[in-house]
Structure 1
Amino acid sequence: MNPASATTSPMSPLPEELISEIMMLLDSYSMLQMALSCRSFHETFQTKPIRYIYELGLNGMQDAGSGKAPDELLVLLRDRQRGWLELDWKSDHAVKAPGAQLSLKLVTGMLSYSDGADIVVISLPSARKAGHTIHRISLDFEIRDFAIDPSQDLVVVLEAIELPNRDRRLSLHCRTISTNLAHPNATQGMPSFTVLNHPELGNELWNARLQIMDDVFAIYSGDEDRSRLLLWNWNMGLLLFDSLDEVLPARVNDFNFLRRDAFILTSSISGGRIHVYRFSPSAPTTPIHIASLALPLPSPSYTVTSLWTPPAQLQQHPIPEALFMHSAESRMHAISVIYRGSVDWSLNSKLHFLFVRNLTFLRYVDGPKIATEPQVVSWEQWGGEREPIYTDGSRIMVNGRSRKPYSALYA
């Protein structure tokens, strides 16, 4: 619609300041729709504060509270967007990486790794910060796993000790990245739990992994036969949930946060499911199983044997000198799916990938009504939306239609 020929809206006599406030409450798509409905709205839409909020949303970003004027931020945002589109680097810096045998974690401009004894955190250079700094966190115990949140100067470290009876005692330490001291926002006392020695499986922790989401952290460990999920509020020193006392879905493969009050579990049951949960981040309670999203099958002769998603730390707080930060809704989940023959095991295994925006899952979390039983959603129902992208490397399913892959999806 041409805004110059649009009819006058009944809201147009409202003060421009009020119209601006209304627009700022909308997402970018709704903001544009409102702007195209009448001339006066379009004029408000063209003001620098509104354009800044609109283009932030288009880029999947949100303001980091720098205090700079919207017109200045809009110029910097467009410069950032142009730089990424054209891969126009401001400068080049060489940072020495560890050996290939160590797993690297990249969170909010900080690269970290551990050799089991120390944790090394490297603050990487950026367009606004030249050079880099290195923090080495030395501990007097073996590091089983760790997670960092630079926006809170936080590192959470998992310690595992084998007891005389062969049970394994796990403890979590909350420390600062900058000083390697106990984090001031963490309550006294270390959260801990026990992995009992199983007569057949032993006391081993399979794929134990930590994740942080604001004031909540999670530890997920196990495999399809034995898995365990624990949620803590580390500010309050409160155990929110321990799946040892509850029943998780069968054949759980992986865990990932959606935000501080929601998460997903992936499972290979029934041809592959992504289970969506909501929980209280401040009180012990059993998470509510909201929905189970089914995955597509390449053919009826195949079934899902495993699916996992790497953790992607979602920034909850701005870091010093930051102008923008990624929004929770725009985060992308990259889910790897392995298929094999459901009956004929001689069929070749297939590796496919599913890319889903966080917003797709959050729509179920923030739905108008939570049913007593989880909603089972077919791939045709949720995979036909705009967000999910499903590919086996040779074709891509978008909106339920097969297309040739775009190279940008693999960048």
Structure 2
Amino acid sequence: MSSSRQTSGILPAILPAIPSELVVIILQELDLPTLIRCKSVCSGLKRLIDDSVILQYKIELAVAGMEDGPPSSIDVSERLRRLRSYTKAWRGMAFAPDEEEIAFDGYWELCGGVLATSDGDSTLMFTKLPGPARGITLREWEIEDVGFPIRDFKMDPSQDLLVMLEFPER
């Protein structure tokens, strides 16, 4: 008997002795090609991978060309649901319907999913653009009077940064 036959004969006998939760933890450490190859080892391993939410999330995330985000309060099953919704929308080119048109005159800046507008006076209006597949809802707020007429502004919401230029006095 060759060693490959012995290995393939031993593997199914060993797997039932190891708790499935432990096997999933081990499989999480594999790279994607190796994880996919494991699905062809035996039907039990394939079923374990197919039934594991965390392993399916890892596979579908890689297939979508994405990386997992930082730790959050959103559990893996919800992340998988959102990922599937997002990829389905892209596959079918079926995006969320337009909420409303945003009309404005004057200065504007779009950064990090936040649209900021100013009509040149001393007020800034902000709109956090929605992303249903990512669980982001529309949010609006404003800064009513910054104390001077705004000539221009730049922002970076990821740094909680807003820089404004004022019109010089004549």
Return the offset for 1:118.
4.0
Summarize the Cα distance change of 1:86–1:35 in structure 2 as closer, same or farther, 3 Å threshold: closer
Higher helix share: 2
Which of residues 136, 139, 142 in structure 1 aligns to 2:146?
139
Is contact 2:89–2:95 with CA below 8 Å preserved after alignment? yes
Bigger RCO of structures 1 and 2 (CA < 8 A, at least 6 apart): 2
May I ask how many residue pairs the two structures share in their alignment?
A: 148
| 3-state SS of paired residue (1:120) | strand
| 3-state SS of paired residue (1:133) | strand
1:33 maps to 34
Summarize the Cα distance change of 1:17–1:129 in structure 2 as closer, same or farther, 3 Å threshold: closer
Which of residues 74, 84, 90 in structure 2 aligns to 1:78?
84
AA aligned opposite 1:31: L
1:97 maps to 103
Q: How does 1:378-397 map to 2 (within 5 A)?
A: none
Is contact 1:143–1:157 with CA below 8 Å preserved after alignment? no
Q: Structure 1 CA distance, aligned partners of 2:27 and 2:102? A: 46
Q: Structure 1 CA distance, aligned partners of 2:110 and 2:131? A: 17
1:224 maps to none
Q: Structure 2 CA distance, aligned partners of 1:62 and 1:80? A: 14
Q: Structure 2 CA distance, aligned partners of 1:10 and 1:113? A: 66
What RMSD, in angstroms, separates the aligned Cα atoms of the two structures?
Answer: 4.0
Deviations 1:149-208 (A, max 9, x none): 26x7x2332558x9xxxxxxxxxxxxxxxxxxxxxxxxxxxxxxxxxxxxxxxxxxxxxx
AA aligned opposite 1:96: I
Q: Structure 2 CA distance, aligned partners of 1:95 and 1:120? A: 15
Identity over aligned pairs, percent: 18
Summarize the Cα distance change of 1:136–1:22 in structure 2 as closer, same or farther, 3 Å threshold: farther
Q: Structure 2 CA distance, aligned partners of 1:91 and 1:79? A: 14
Unpaired segments ≥5 residues, structure 1: 1-6, 163-411
Q: Structure 2 CA distance, aligned partners of 1:8 and 1:120? A: 65
Q: How does 1:95-134 map to 2 (within 5 A)?
A: 95-99=101-105, 102-108=107-113, 110-114=114-118, 117-127=122-132, 132-134=139-141
| 3-state SS of paired residue (2:107) | coil
1:20 maps to 24
Is contact 1:23–1:31 with CA below 8 Å preserved after alignment? no
Return the TM-score normalized by structure 1. 0.29
Q: Structure 2 CA distance, aligned partners of 1:159 and 1:75? A: 43
Return the offset for 1:94.
0.9
Is contact 1:103–1:113 with CA below 8 Å preserved after alignment? yes
Unpaired segments ≥5 residues, structure 2: 1-6
AA aligned opposite 2:140: T
Higher strand share: 1
1:370 maps to none
